Structure 1
């Protein structure tokens, strides 16, 4: 009989696989001219693409389930310090970042579920996700402390970009990947995290600019951040390839990532000490 810890491990691994599918297809859509409008919509464009291909609906349901699992995994880092980051300032900052990532993946999971049920359709014009994001931002900016909130979110994205850059440079993302992983894992990891560095920096700067520097500017979602690089052909292509490789890297992690065990009560996940 499969115990709770093993079930949790499979759910987390499905989460890494779901993340891999999203990034892999997003990079592919950016590189394929025919998928440009869907790619501009980021994850929603990916889900719309899956909605249209044969067998896409079961994949969407699996993505939704996996993204929930990944969200729970990230929240476990915040609540239970599942990855042993500790309680110093650096550790708390990393855990808070994981908590925010968990919530974001719950939103993605709900979106994937809506597409799987046919309750949501992509706008097809690159403005679906971006339009709702702009509306939400405008609402927040109209509040008394709105610019401060948006600006802080921008700084958080810029901090995340620095964290991605550190991983891209040092390769410390390999610390919790099994040595049995394929030899190319570290190479594609470097490329993937480098691409995410650029994307997070563009998103963060758009938040800061919209909040504090130019009220007429618009914040950028994931898809829009990559699209904004299209005029810089080489950088755009490298980032798109990097995102595709990060998808492959995530699929490798689904198999070889070290996942914490649940405690004897089957509640709190934590690495063995």
Structure 2
């Protein structure tokens, strides 16, 4: 089945929007590492964008891109656009893509709330769902499972970076593969570290990653935690640079990633 132009536009706008969000996060994390500011998470990045000249327009454009990313994630998960298959590994990857769609949906809805549009969900749907699952499974089982999910996502990022499997999604005749290899390995590796940190924080019950209120622990939680460690400023700077590279990786995907339905 040939890819449709609207799907390609949605996916590329989505990768671009993700890159903008992580670019803002990494910029403020770098400032925090040198004592010139404080770290921000995904929601903080949107608030920062809103405060800029024509901020409402910028956030509205970003919302469009985020919803495009959600559509593409759903296509990847449900229609298996990247041919992950139906074996155990493929199902796990597709479930992770489905979870990504839910996460970016919540972020897009939060952004809509910032614009003052009434009748929108400001991000309470996902926490409510988490609370329901936690009550059904029991807190200890839920926390253990969530920690393992985050650790699995971290491992998937590292495996994708080390195995070079990211390259199969790029057209090597068009993409500058030297750049793709560098930003993919460094960017995916850095984002994997964030998920590994969150997994450890959830498992150990560290303040800032508690799931008792129904909120998913965030990139901001991981950045604040690492900043408080010995030599935390140095480690925060290194991680922030890695996340900046991940933002560039998102831009590279926006430009050169294959977007199609097989």
1:144-186 deviations in Å (ceiling 9; x for gaps):
6132122211111100000111122223212112222233222
Where does residue 267 of structure 1 map in the other structure? none
CA contact 1:165–1:193 (8 Å) conserved in 2: yes
Q: CA deviation at 1:60?
A: 1.0
Q: What is residue 222 of structure 2 aligned with on the other side?
A: 225
- Correspondences of 1:99-178 after superposition (within 5 Å): 99-117=98-116, 145-178=138-171
The alpha carbon displacement at 1:101 in A equals 0.8
Relative to structure 1, is the Cα distance of residues 59 and 150 closer, same or farther in structure 2, using a 3 angstrom cutoff?
Answer: same
Question: For each residue in 1:245-272, what CA deviation from the matched residue of structure 2 results, as whole angstroms up to 9, or x when unmatched?
Answer: 1111101211111001xxxxxxxxx22x
Retained in 1: the 8 A contact 2:26–2:241? Answer: yes
CA contact (8 A) 1:72 1:102 kept: yes
Match of 2:64 in 1: 65
Matched, 1:190 2:189: no
The answer to whether the 8 A contact 2:67-2:104 is kept is yes
| 1:18-97 aligned within 5 A | 18-33=17-32, 34-36=36-38, 39-40=39-40, 42-97=41-96
SS in 2 for 1:229: helix
Q: Distance in 1 between matches of 2:113 and 2:147?
A: 28
Q: Tell me: CA distance 1:252–1:157, structure 2 relative to 1, closer, same or farther (3 Å).
A: same
Output the TM-score relative to the length of structure 2: 0.83
TM norm structure 1: 0.79
Counting matched residue pairs gives 243
Distance 1:174 1:216, change over 3 A: closer
- CA change 1:136–1:222 in 2 (3 A) is farther
Across the aligned residues of Structure 1 and Structure 2, the Cα RMSD in angstroms comes to 2.9
Q: Secondary structure at the match of 1:184?
A: helix
Question: In 1, Cα distance between the equivalents of 2:127 and 2:106?
Answer: 17
**Contact 1:48–1:115 (8 Å) recurs in 2:** yes
Aligned residue in 2 for 1:124 = none
Q: Cα deviations across residues 15-72 of structure 1 (Å, max 9, x unaligned)?
A: 0000000111100011124441xx34x1011001101111222221121111111112
The gaps in structure 1 that reach 5 residues or longer are 120-128, 261-269
Who is 2:244 aligned against?
244
Contact 2:208 2:221 in 1 (8 A): no
1:238 to 1:216, Cα distance in 2 relative to 1, 3 A = closer
Any idea what SS the aligned residue of 1:62 has?
helix
**Within the alignment, does 1:10 sit opposite 2:9 as a pair?**
yes
Q: Quick check: 1:140–1:147 contact (8 Å CA) kept in 2?
A: no
Mark the runs of 5 or more structure 2 residues left unpaired by the alignment: 212-216
CA distance in 1, matches of 2:209, 2:66: 31
